[in-house]
Amino acid sequence: MAAPLADRLRPRTLAEVCGQQHLLAPGRVFRSALEQGRVPNMIFYGPPGVGKTTVARIIAENSGMHLHKLNGTTAGTADIKAVLGDVGTLAAQGGILLYLDEIQYLNKKQQQSLLECLEDGSVTLIASTTENPYFYIYNALLSRCTVFEFKPLSPEDVQQGLRNALHRLGEEDGVPILPQEGALELLASACGGDMRKALGCLEFAAAALPEKDGVRTLTEQVVQQVTQRAAQRYDKSDDMHYDCISALQKSIRGSDPDAAVHYLARILEGGDMLSACRRLLVIAAEDVGLAYPQAIPIVKACVDSALQLGLPEARLPLADAAILLATAPKSNSAHNAILAAMEDLRKGRGGPVPRQLQNCHFDGEDNQNKGQHYLYPHDYPNHWVAQQYLPDALVGTKYYEYGENKTEQAAKAYWEKIKGR
C-alpha cells in the first residue's frame, strides 16, 4: 500500500519547504541557528498541514543526536520513561533528541516528567502542536522552550507544492497530468493554507482523471468536486473557534457588517450555533448597549428564533442580529461603569448601605436619629429628590459617563434639567 502523496513528497531539506519564510528564509535567526548545529528546545505551533512536522523531522534527522519519535495521541508514561532510559548510554553519546508530535495530548504529569532532563540538557525537545501552547502546555515546560509560530501557507506556496506533486504523480503513473488554467489556483485557495489537505485532494482527483491522447487533464470542475468544504477549518475546542468568535465581536464593534456576516458564516458552517447566539447577546449589551437599548430584546428575539428553528434556517435571524448590531450606534458606557464599580469592590471600597436605603430594621436604644428617613422619589416633582445613595466612603464617585450617542445625550439633557445642573 503506497504512502499518502503528502508523505511521499515531504521535503528533505529546509530549502525545499514551502512557506514559513519568516522562519526559514536565509539569514533568519531560526535558520541560521540550525545551520550552525544549534538545536535548542523548541515548540512549533500552528494549524495542520503547514510544515511543523516536516521541519521538525528535517532538524531531527540532521542533528547528529540519537532520535526518538513520539506522538502525544498514543504515547504514555512508559514511552517517555523509555526515552529517558537512554540517557547516559553509549547509544546516546551525541545526546538525545526527542521529537514529540501533538504534545498537547500529554497530561500535566507526563509533561512534568520531561522537566529535569530538559533542565540539565540530557534531552533536547522538539515538540509540535496545533493548539495554543500557552493554554495547553505546562508553564514550567514552556519556560524551558522557545515557541515558534507556523502560519497558514499562502495560495502561492500551496500552488508550488501542487506543481511538484503533479510532476511526481505523472512520473509514478507514466501518464502526465496537465492542469487546466485556473485549476491549481482554485485548489490552492480552497484548502485554507493546508498543504496536506491540498495534496490529498489532488491525489484523489488524479485517481479519477481519464487518460486522453496520452495525458490526463485536471479541470476546475474536478477540483470543485473534491474541495467541497475543504477550506473550512473550525473546531469548537481549538484556536480557530476562539479566533472566529473574537473576530465576530470585533467586526461588529468596528461597525463592519460584511466582516460580521463572514465570521458568523464560518461559525455556523462549523455547526457551532450556540457560541454564535451567546456572543451576539454579549455584543448587544457590551458594544451597542445604551446607544440603542432596544438592540438587546431584538437580538434576544433573534436568538430565540434561531434556537427554535435550528440550522440551516437559524442563519437568517442570526444574520439579522449581526447586521443590526454592526450598523447600530455603539456605546460601552454601561460596560465601563460596571467594571469600575467592581474594581472598587475588589479594592475594599464600599461600606454599609446608607440607612435610608436599608430594608426596615429595628433602631437600637443608642440610635440618636431613629427612623429610616427614606425620601420616596415618586412623591416629588418629576419623580426625583436629592438624597444620598452611595455608601459614605464612595460619595461623589462617578462610574457612569454618558456616551456621545443620541440616546444617552438625550437622557443626559433630561436629567441635567431635572436636577438643575
Q: How confident is the model at residue 67 (pLDDT cuts 50, 70, 90)?
A: confident
Contact 214, 178 (CB under 8 A): no
DSSP state letter for 105: G
pTM more than 0.75:
no
Contact 194, 182 (CB under 8 A): no
Which pLDDT score is estimated for 239? 64
In tens, the pLDDT along 211-236 reads 888 888 888 888 888 876 555 555 55
| Domains located in the chain, CATH noted | 20-149 (3.40.50.300), 155-226 (1.10.8.60), 239-327 (1.20.272.10), 345-402 (1.10.3710.10)
Q: What is the mean pLDDT of the chain?
A: 85
**Could you tell me if residue 44 is left (phi over 0), alpha (psi between -120 and 50 degrees) or otherwise beta?**
beta
Which pLDDT score is estimated for 157? 86
Mean pLDDT of 6-19: 82
Which pLDDT score is estimated for 249? 94
Q: How confident is the model at residue 90 (pLDDT cuts 50, 70, 90)?
A: low
Which pLDDT score is estimated for 50? 86
Mean pLDDT of 158-174: 84
For residue 364, is pLDDT > 70?
no
Which pLDDT score is estimated for 320? 96
Which pLDDT score is estimated for 92? 63
For residue 397, is pLDDT > 70?
yes
**Could you tell me if residue 269 is left (phi over 0), alpha (psi between -120 and 50 degrees) or otherwise beta?**
alpha
Is pLDDT larger for residue 264 or for residue 169? 264
Q: How confident is the model at residue 370 (pLDDT cuts 50, 70, 90)?
A: low
Listed in order, strand segments (DSSP E) in 112-231 are 123-129, 146-149, 177-179, 211-212, 215-218
Which one-letter amino acid corresponds to residue 186? Answer: L
For residue 105, is pLDDT > 80?
yes
In tens, the pLDDT along 69-82 reads 888 888 888 888 88
C-alpha to C-alpha distance for 158 and 371, rounded to whole angstroms? 80
Mean pLDDT of 186-199: 83
Which pLDDT score is estimated for 87? 76
Phi/psi of residue 44, each to 5°? -100, 125
Mean pLDDT of 95-111: 87
Rg of the chain, C-alpha, whole Å: 31
